[in-house]
Amino acid sequence: MSHKVTVLPAQLSFEVLPEETILQAALRQGIDFPYRCQQGVCTSCVCKLRDGNVSYIEPSPLTDVDRQQRFVYCCVAYAQSDLQLHHPFIRG
């Protein structure tokens, strides 16, 4: 089952399949999504989670501060529900 991801403030939406990361889904659909390392290290793809749930293959890249701030490393995160994310540099 796929999930819908909406990126704010651009109001840009796309579908994520269960076996792909949020970044993989965005790139597959031609969305200009910022990224570099694709390993959860560089933070280029980090969004703030406004609504929904994500999961990671262990070990999770998240620190305690990341969890408190509700950061999502989209290059290694899998959607577990429909999501609302915030990234100020993504344009629709």
pLDDT tens, residue by residue, 77-86: 999 999 999 9
The pLDDT assigned to 57 comes to 94
91 pLDDT higher than 90: no
What is the architecture, at CATH level 2, of domain 3-86?
Roll (3.10)
Q: How confident is the model at residue 92 (pLDDT cuts 50, 70, 90)?
A: confident
Predicted TM-score (pTM) of this structure: 0.95
Average pLDDT over residues 58-78: 95
Domain residue limits, the chain: 3-86
DSSP string, 6-61: EEETTTEEEEE-TTS-HHHHHHHTT-----SSSSSSS-TTEEEEEES-EEEPSSP-
